[in-house]
Amino acid sequence: MKFNRLVSLVIFLGLSAGAAFANAPDRSLRPISRAVIPDVPPTPAQKTAEPERRGFLGLLRPKQRSERAQLFASKKQRELQRGMVCGDIAIQGEPVGRVPGRISGCGVKDAVRVRSVAGVGLSQQAVMDCTTAKALKSWVEKGMKPAVGNRGGGVARIKVAAHYACRTRNNQRGAKISEHGKGRAIDIASLTLKDGSEISVLQHWGQGWRGRALRAMHARACGPFGTVLGPDANRYHRDHFHFDTARYRSGSYCR
């Protein structure tokens, strides 16, 4: 009896399994794929709200480049404002005040010590009055820079041969007091370009494009300055330009 029951159970299970395989689907069942959500850029309102959603962690992210650039520009502007003299941010230096002269006729009432003009550095800090500092700025912007252009990357530095000095003209005994002795003059020997090359009054006057640039900037100094002297003036100026702000009834004296 037990044997017959066991045989009946085996036959039943075999028939059930066969029926199941017969009704199996053609393909394997896979989960339904989720809908693809397209990449939609956030709205301005979402961008504004994003830091709030990030909470405290959002505050730890570095500032954007534009923000850092603005901070740097603001810092640079503050530095320039602190260093400006003669009420002009393009003239950087420090006030000196009254400079007494050791001989009669020398001295400066309200002197400044200038280290750079219109973004161009001076080889040595030059003492002068504000009228001369402003004339120098005008010449740098309208005379020197246009004459050189982008050659060598532009002018990086002006080599100052002389500025304030209590002496007579050309250091000649018995001569009148030089404009240098009044803080109204500056002598320029050469220019250094950003690539390290040089334009020298002594070496390049009348020589190639450098000579042409020197002549152009010499001519453009006539106006901002009252006296403009160069290698063609006399033997005392063969190696530099002399600029001063003395004024004459007949106008600027330029040679």
**Whether the predicted pLDDT of 37 surpasses 50:** no
Q: Please check whether residue 32 lies inside any domain of the structure.
A: no
**Whether the predicted pLDDT of 50 surpasses 80:** no
**Whether the predicted pLDDT of 45 surpasses 60:** no
**Whether the predicted pLDDT of 9 surpasses 60:** no
Q: Please check whether residue 28 lies inside any domain of the structure.
A: no
Residue type, 92: Q
Average pLDDT over every residue of 57-64: 54
Higher pLDDT, 116 or 9: 116
Q: Please check whether residue 52 lies inside any domain of the structure.
A: no
Report DSSP state, residue 62: P
Question: Nearest 5°: phi and psi at 144?
Answer: -65, -55
Q: Would you call 232 helix, strand, or coil by DSSP?
A: coil
Percent above pLDDT 70 for the chain: 72
52-66, 93-107, 111-125, 180-194, range with the lowest pLDDT = 52-66
Q: Please check whether residue 15 lies inside any domain of the structure.
A: no
Looking at residue 60, its pLDDT comes to 47
What is the band of 8 on the pLDDT scale with cuts at 50, 70, 90?
A: low
Looking at residue 251, its pLDDT comes to 85
Q: Please check whether residue 44 lies inside any domain of the structure.
A: no
Alpha-carbon gap, residue 31 to 250, rounded angstroms: 99
Residue 136 belongs to domain spanning: 78-254
Q: Please check whether residue 122 lies inside any domain of the structure.
A: yes
Alpha-carbon gap, residue 16 to 82, rounded angstroms: 96
Question: Of 126, 118, 114, which Cα lies nearest the Cα of 145?
Answer: 118
Looking at residue 165, its pLDDT comes to 96
Q: What's the first-to-final CA gap in the chain, in angstroms? A: 140
Q: Please check whether residue 11 lies inside any domain of the structure.
A: no
**Count: domains in the chain:** 1
Using alpha carbons, list the distances in angstroms from residue 82 to 130, 134, 159: 17, 18, 24
Please give the full DSSP string across 147-205, using - where no structure is assigned.
HHTTGGGSEEEEEEEE-----BGGG-TTPPBPGGGGT-EEEEEEEEETTS-EEEHHHHT
Q: Please check whether residue 47 lies inside any domain of the structure.
A: no
Higher pLDDT, 33 or 158: 158
Average pLDDT over every residue of 145-164: 98
Mean of per-residue pLDDT scores for the chain = 83
What is the band of 99 on the pLDDT scale with cuts at 50, 70, 90?
A: very high
Residues 208-254 have pLDDT tens digits of 999 999 999 999 999 999 999 999 999 999 999 999 999 888 888 99
Residues 71-94 have pLDDT tens digits of 666 776 787 789 999 999 999 999
